[in-house]
Amino acid sequence: MQYPDSISKLIESFSKLPGIGPKSAERLAFYVANKMKEEDVLNFAKSLVAVKRELMKCPICGNLTDKNPCVICRDTNRDKSIIAVVEENKDVIAIEKMKEYRGLYHVLNGVISPINGVGPQDINIPSLLERLKNDEIKEVILATNTTIEGESTAMYIAKLLEKIDISVTRIARGLPVGGGLEYADEVTLLKALEGRREIK
């Protein structure tokens, strides 16, 4: 038996989401059809459209925003001499939660990965270089992930900035705070050791 057209379309839509396979998509679609209240479905549909129509990428930092420029870029109290370069929007949220960082951001929207067809020009690197022409900026913090692609991307940006008079730093890797050495795996421990610093 074939599914009714509306159900198969919904299944197809759900399976376009990351982490949702055909089985999960099917489960979600039937949940919507059988269990969800019409009001909830309408709200869901509205928010789906809204995030696409009302949100945009900040033309300065690339972060997702409903204002142009975004709240962080327009905030006059922030330290405009530092930019943290991150992979995704959710990394901005993570750093913001800390409430300690007062600088600006630059969201790359991905990492360089030829296997996935993403070259250096396909992520927000050109706009970063453009931003750095501003003399106000003194430091760039490369806060991409510690995956091999995150490392390549950080190293690549560092290379591009070699001849520019801006300090370029990379976030540290190592032990989780409050964790004992005995619980760390060998690779993390090695990185912590390599990244040790003098205290005397």
Binding residues for other proteins (CB under 8 A): 112-115, 119-120, 148-149, 151-152, 155-156, 159-160, 185-187, 190
Q: 116 or 167, CB closer to other proteins?
A: 116
Q: 27 or 80, CB closer to other proteins?
A: 27
Beta carbons within 10 angstroms of residue 104's beta carbon: 22
Min separation Cβ 66 and other proteins, Å: 34
Min separation Cβ 152 and other proteins, Å: 5
Q: Which helix (H) or strand (E) holds 33?
A: helix 22-34
For residues 199 and 195, what is the distance between their CA atoms, to the nearest angstrom?
13
Say which residues have a Cβ less than 8 Å from residue 95's Cβ, sequence separation at least 6.
84, 86, 101, 105, 143
Min separation Cβ 12 and other proteins, Å: 22
Q: 39 or 185, CB closer to other proteins?
A: 185
Whether the bond between 69 and the residue before it is cis, its omega within 30 degrees of 0, is yes
Residues facing 167 on adjacent strands: 139
Q: 114 or 195, CB closer to other proteins?
A: 114
Burial bucket for residue 29 (CB in 10 Å: 0-12, 13-18, 19+): buried
Q: 45 or 193, CB closer to other proteins?
A: 193
Min separation Cβ 58 and other proteins, Å: 26
Min separation Cβ 35 and other proteins, Å: 24
